[in-house]
Structure 1
Amino acid sequence: MLVRWLHIYLSMVSFAIVFFFAVTGLTLNHADKFGDEVHTAQQKGRLNPAWTKDPDTTKIARLDIVEYLRNTCHLKGTLSDFRIDPDQIGVSFKGPGYAADAFIDRGTGAFDIMETTAGFVGVINDLHKGRDTGHTWSLFIDICALLLVVVSLTGFLLILFLKKKRLSGLAVAVCGLFVAWLVYRIWVK
């Protein structure tokens, strides 16, 4: 039967997904117990002022600045913001469990960088939420969600084919739904 085959093999494929999101759900919900130490580091330096001095902001050497910061200061993550103010340029990089902000003096090219790195728990929590993970991880989360919907529906359909377990299985499903609704109704407002 196709439903049984789908349920078994999709369940096996999704085991790691369910396990990952279950563990990270706990670490997110109990951040005080699973807290990770956040490390911050500062760097100072100077880049080519010709890249930053031009009063015409369209001529600011954005690519050169970003690549210089990545290569020289070893910044990671995706470029999330590039702000040009009259006296300063702000460049931000973000990734799961990672953030770096560079503040560059437009006149001199001098910069200060504040880099924040979370540990393993911070990284997996950001992956769980899809925070600063990019399009590919977001697509992966969507595919996982669809996969789990199919696993749930095939499991529900399977219980309908088992005469001896059908009534008790449906009763348990209704009870689970009722308990979730009751918890929401009483304690979440």
Structure 2
Amino acid sequence: MSQEMPRSNASRSAWLKTLHQWHWISSALCLIGMLLFAATGITLNHASSIEATPTVVNRQAQLPPELLAALDPDAAASAPTQAQAQPQAQAPAPTSRHTQDHKAALPTPLRDWLTNTLGRRIDDREAEWSRDEIYLSMPRPGGDAWVRIDRGTGEVEYEDTDRGWISYLNDLHKGRHAGVAWSWFLDLFAVACLLFSITGLLILKFHAVSRPTTWPIVGLGFLIPALLALLFMH
């Protein structure tokens, strides 16, 4: 019996040491993220009270003839087809994707020209193509931008809206238009927070024997939001 007690205490001490190690490592990983999410939780909760003046930039440009020719729907529709070259062959009327509504990335030469002309990097995201125009939407955290190209005249319209740093951080909090890499970060951050919370709960269990107020305080942390949800949310 006397040999089992020291062995049990040694095992308990080893577990507690491991829990403390995992707890402080996970808390260190979560620290900056928790500060960010706590601060943006306040700004999101009071979004209607926080005034922001968006900065809007508008630009116009004209496509060079060679790029306009490649986008001209009439030129694409009137291009000779094999069925037209051989009228005796029975074939359905040809259709051109250039004249139908669809989504596709902009051609590389057009993207390069827009990047140099507008001063904004145009990536390979999909644009909305119709017979009359091409519309490219470029939302991002804290702002938005779009490009419209008239396929008949080559007129280019560009607008960029910046809603400021608070809006930027709020969108990061929500993962809005933040991309795949940020989505993965949010998942990993959530796992680290779970590890931080679970190890903290187990550490509380170890200390609860000598601290009788431990579980009542933990229960209060659950009871307060539960009562608020039940009594004031309808």
Q: Give the structure-1-normalised TM-score.
A: 0.90
8 Å Cα contact 1:82-1:92 kept in structure 2 = yes
Counterparts of 1:37-56 in structure 2, within 5 Å, are 37-47=53-63, 48-53=67-72, 54-55=76-77, 56=96
Aligned partner of residue 23 in structure 2, secondary structure: helix
Residues 79/127 of structure 1: CA separation in 2 closer, same or farther (3 Å cut)? farther
**Which one of the candidate residues 153, 164, 187 is aligned to 2:210?**
164
Deviation of 1:94 (Å): 1.9
Q: 2:47 aligns with which of 31, 35, 38?
A: 31
1:11 to 2:27 alignment: yes
* Matched ranges for 1:55-70 at <5 A: 55=77, 56-57=96-97, 62-70=107-115
Aligned to 1:125: 170
Q: Alpha-carbon deviation of 1:138? A: 0.6
Matched letter for residue 92 of structure 1: S
Aligned to 1:136: 181
Name stretches of at least 5 consecutive residues in structure 2 with no aligned partner: 1-16, 78-95
Name the larger-Rg structure: 2
Query: Using the alignment, how far apart are the partners of 1:43 and 1:104 within structure 2?
Result: 12
Partner AA of 1:57 in structure 2: R
Which deviations, in whole Å up to 9, do the C-alpha atoms of 1:114-173 show, x marking residues without a partner? 2111111111111111111100011001111110010000000001111212x4222111
CA distance in 2, matches of 1:127, 1:68: 30
- CA 1:24–1:98 in structure 2 vs 1: closer, same or farther (change >3 Å)? same
Return the letter of the residue paired with 1:164.
Answer: S
Instruction: Rate the CA distance shift 1:26–1:81 in 2: closer, same or farther, 3 A.
Output: farther
Deviation at 1:78, TM superposition (A): 6.0
| Unaligned runs of at least 5 residues, structure 1 | none
1 CA distance for matches of 2:121 and 2:233?
39
Structure 1 residues 35 and 146: CA distance shift in structure 2, 3 A: farther
AA of the residue aligned to 2:97? T
Which 4+ residue blocks in structure 1 deviate beyond 4 angstroms? 58-61, 76-81
Contact kept, 8 Å, 1:127 with 1:133, in 2: the verdict is: yes
Q: Note the C-alpha offset of 1:77.
A: 7.5
More strand by share: 1
**CA distance in 2 between partners of 1:107 and 1:155 (Å):** 64
SS of the equivalent of 2:202 reads helix
Q: 2:20 is aligned with what amino acid?
A: R
1:174-185 matched pairs, under 5 angstroms: 174-185=219-230
Q: Secondary structure at the match of 2:138?
A: strand
1:2 maps onto 2:48 in alignment: no
